[in-house]
């Protein structure tokens, strides 16, 4: 009996500290680290900050201002003009403003145009496709590219177990 109640208690405790929700979520963020195909190296860390609350069932599961961390998984700089450059990135963790850590996985789904209205998301000048490990690969067939500090992007994220985080508030 004691073993069962301990197991049940741990299961309930785990449920309290995990995000259990539906499918893939689009999360608007602002990059806080510049990444450039000319200079990036595998293992380089990236950070981004959520620009809106992410909710599930009306409850905020990832507040505005949460810090997300990611990593460069692969990079190929363009050797000459009109040769492709690629960059694979996976985001794996969020830290809420009050310090709670959330394991997640995903990558860049779209990039803001960079004009005066950053609410317009597009494929930027690069194509975006899924990559191994739950991240994404960005490719520019014409050469090197960079995503600047402050650039707004949308991340396609799920929990580490593959469930969606929730839905983003409108900015």
Q: What are phi and psi of 132, to 5 degrees?
A: -60, 145
pLDDT of residue 166: 67
- pLDDT at position 89 is 94
Instruction: Provide the residue ranges of all domains of the chain, joining segments of one domain with +.
Output: 2-168
**109-121 residue pLDDT tens:** 888 766 444 444 4
As a residue count, the chain comes to 171
Query: Model's pTM, two decimal places?
Result: 0.77
CB-based contacts of 99, cutoff 8 Å, min separation 6: none
Q: Considering the chain, what is the average pLDDT of its residues?
A: 78
Longest CA–CA separation in the chain, Å? 69
- Other beta carbons within 10 Å of 51: 19
CATH number of the domain at 2-168, please? 2.40.128.260
Q: How many CB atoms lie within 10 A of CB 36?
A: 16
pLDDT in tens, 57-70: 889 989 999 999 99
Tokens encoding 25: 């979520």
> Are the CB atoms for 71 and 90 separated by under 8 Å?
yes
């Amino acid at each position: 009996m004691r073993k069962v109640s301990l197991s049940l208690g741990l299961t309930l405790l785990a449920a309290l500290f995990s995000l259990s929700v539906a499918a893939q979520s689009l999360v608007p963020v602002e990059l806080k680290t510049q990444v450039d195909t000319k200079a990036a190296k595998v293992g380089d860390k990236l950070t981004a900050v959520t620009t809106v609350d992410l909710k599930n069932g009306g409850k905020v599961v990832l507040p505005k201002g949460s810090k997300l961390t990611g990593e460069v998984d692969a990079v190929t700089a363009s050797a000459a003009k009109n040769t492709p450059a690629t960059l694979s990135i996976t985001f794996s963790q969020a830290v809420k403003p009050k310090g709670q850590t959330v394991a997640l996985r995903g990558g860049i789904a779209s990039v803001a145009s960079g004009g005066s209205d950053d609410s317009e998301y597009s494929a930027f000048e690069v194509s975006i496709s899924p990559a191994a490990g739950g991240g994404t690969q960005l490719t520019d067939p014409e050469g090197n590219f960079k995503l600047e500090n402050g650039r707004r992007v949308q991340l396609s994220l799920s929990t580490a177990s593959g469930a969606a985080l929730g839905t983003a508030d409108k900015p």
